[in-house]
Amino acid sequence: DDNKMFARTVTKNVLRSFSTAVSHAPPKKIFGTHGRYAGAVYTAASKAGLLEKVESELLAVGSILKKSSTLEAFFANPTIPRGEKTTKVNHLLSDSTKFSYITQNLFLTLCANGKAGEAGKVLSAFNELMAASRGSVKVTIISAQPLTAKQLAAVQKGITSMLGEKKVIDLNVAVDANILGGLQVMVDDLFLDLSVASRVNSLSGAIEAAH
């Protein structure tokens, strides 16, 4: 009986630990250096129960960087010593009542590792992870000319049927005359090229190969 009770206790603890570990893992993998930093921040914030706080903090920092081209250029400049960038970050994020230790550590680590110029990409990647955790899928539709409301609705309907009704679509629409016609659709990391330019390039390649 003691053995059975021990086995049940161990099994319960293992399952609980496994469940806890899984719950803190990022909802998707984003490749590249910025993806690794964003994933580490997501895991740390999740374990600390600070995901939403860190999200709001990073959005605030991102807003500051966008509004100040000088500050953005300062962090992106590789000739500026890491120590100087670290001092600047300490000054910006010194208010511990406003910024969590996770947000402070992220930017201090970026500066110390010479990756301060990647800050914008890290912030975007973290936002992508948060959207994925809420069941949101980032979709970008590129057309040669602006789509009408009816055309856009038709495309959205097709994407929704592909992803499932429960998914929340974070839709971005862009226009690029270079694709000539048709559409290019990006669903997270999946790229679908339905453009005229793509077909022209394929045809050109086939003609060249025939000679």
Question: Which tens digits make up the pLDDT trace of 140-165?
Answer: 888 888 878 887 887 777 777 766 66
Task: Tell me what pLDDT residue 3 has.
Answer: 44
Give, in order, the Cα–Cα distances in Å from 177 to each of 139, 154, 156, 189, 190: 19, 21, 21, 23, 22
- Give the count of beta carbons closer than 10 Å to the beta carbon of residue 201: 12
Cβ-in-10-Å burial (0-12, 13-18, 19+) of 169 comes to middle
User: What value does the mean pLDDT take over residues 63-87?
Assistant: 85
51's CB contacts (< 8 A; 6+ apart) are 42, 45, 130, 133
Q: What are phi and psi of 25, to 5 degrees?
A: -75, 145
Predicted local distance difference test score (pLDDT) of residue 21: 38
CB burial of residue 12 (10 Å; 0-12, 13-18, 19+): exposed
157-208 confidence digits (pLDDT tens): 777 776 666 666 778 888 888 877 777 787 766 777 776 666 656 555 554 5
Asked if residues 175 and 146 have their Cβ atoms less than 8 Å apart, the reply is: yes
The reported pTM is 0.56
